[in-house]
């Protein structure tokens, strides 16, 4: 992936439009919610089967969880939002804290893993015979297609990514649906992406912490 082109795309998208989803009716519309004087906030953990259908990339199979967040400023108030203010806590003997992951970080990791998938030599069709040449060109089929070491078969698309799903398309899809970043006086909503915790049976909670607020949102699974 060409990094300069990739980051240029994200910069262009930021100038054209802001990311985010249409907020639900209010914070009470989310699975878990908290109301404060200046704003209310709601959150809902998206089930893996829904996540698989919502994005160009199967984020669940790639090792991520998706949380929808809605923020509703009180009349006359505003909120300065940053995805970095949100943390996924895994409650246990030793709490595990996971930071949200950006669209570009997810994309780079998935594309790199996709390119590292092992590839096998291309199988020959059953009705194809092989003739061995002696002119230095190496083994060739009658249709003049190399089947030696250099012949490689394209692998099926991995469940977590695919070569034909370009980095730009994946990044744009994730970015467009992510929680907006910045000050707002209007309701906003979007997704946060977190690495999936390894502890399967532990309780999870989303924490929002900045200079003015410390909020805990237990997540139903």
Lowest mean pLDDT, pick from 3-12, 61-70, 173-182: 3-12
- Cα–Cα nearest to 99, from 192, 221, 202: 192
- Cα–Cα nearest to 87, from 71, 102, 98, 103: 98
Tokens of 214: 């410390």
Instruction: Scan for tokens 């200046």, then name that residue.
Output: 38
Highest mean pLDDT among 52-61, 131-140, 157-166: 52-61
| CA atoms in the 13 A half-sphere facing the CB of 56 | 21
- Residue ranges covered by each domain of the chain: 26-117+160-221
DSSP characters over 149-170: TT-BPPPPPPTT--TTS-HHHH
Give the pairing type, strands 86-91 and 214-219: unpaired
- Cα–Cα nearest to 205, from 133, 98, 116, 102: 98
Q: How far is CA 70 from the centre of its chain?
A: 18
List, for residues 140-150, the tens digit of each pLDDT value. 333 333 232 33
How far is 204 from 145, CA to CA, in rounded Å?
54
> pLDDT higher for 191 or 132?
191
Q: What is the pLDDT of residue 119?
A: 44
Q: What is the pLDDT of residue 201?
A: 83
> Would you say domain 26-117+160-221 falls under CATH 2.60.40?
yes
Lowest mean pLDDT, pick from 47-51, 119-123, 212-216: 119-123
pTM tops 0.85, yes or no: no
For residues 120-132, average pLDDT = 41
Tokens of 107: 């994309």
Q: From the CA atom positions of the chain, what is the Rg in Å?
A: 23
List, for residues 1-50, the tens digit of each pLDDT value. 455 555 455 544 444 468 999 999 999 999 999 998 899 999 999 999 99
In the structure, how many helices (H) and strands (E) does the chain have?
Answer: 5, 12
Tokens of 140: 């060739």
Q: What is the pLDDT of residue 93?
A: 65
């Amino acid at each position: 992936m060409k990094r300069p082109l990739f980051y240029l795309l994200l910069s262009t998208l930021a100038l054209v439009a802001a990311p985010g989803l249409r907020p639900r009716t209010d914070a009470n519309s989310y699975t878990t919610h908290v109301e404060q004087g200046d704003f209310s906030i709601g959150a809902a953990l998206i089930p893996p089967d829904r996540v698989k259908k919502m994005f160009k990339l199967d984020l669940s199979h790639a090792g991520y969880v998706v949380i929808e967040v809605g923020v509703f400023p009180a009349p006359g108030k505003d909120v300065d939002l940053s995805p970095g203010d949100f943390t996924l806590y895994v409650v246990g003997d030793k709490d595990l804290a996971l930071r949200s992951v950006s669209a570009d970080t997810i994309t780079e990791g998935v594309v790199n893993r996709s390119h590292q998938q092992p590839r096998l030599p291309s199988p020959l069709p059953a009705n194809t015979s092989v003739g061995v040449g002696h002119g230095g060109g190496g083994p060739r089929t009658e249709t003049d297609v190399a089947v030696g070491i250099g012949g490689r078969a394209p692998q099926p698309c991995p469940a977590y990514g695919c070569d034909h799903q370009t980095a730009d398309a994946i990044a744009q899809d994730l970015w467009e649906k992510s929680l907006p970043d910045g000050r707002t006086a209007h309701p906003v909503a979007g997704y946060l992406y977190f690495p999936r915790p390894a502890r399967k049976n532990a309780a999870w909670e989303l924490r929002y912490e900045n200079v003015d607020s410390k909020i805990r949102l237990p997540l139903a699974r």
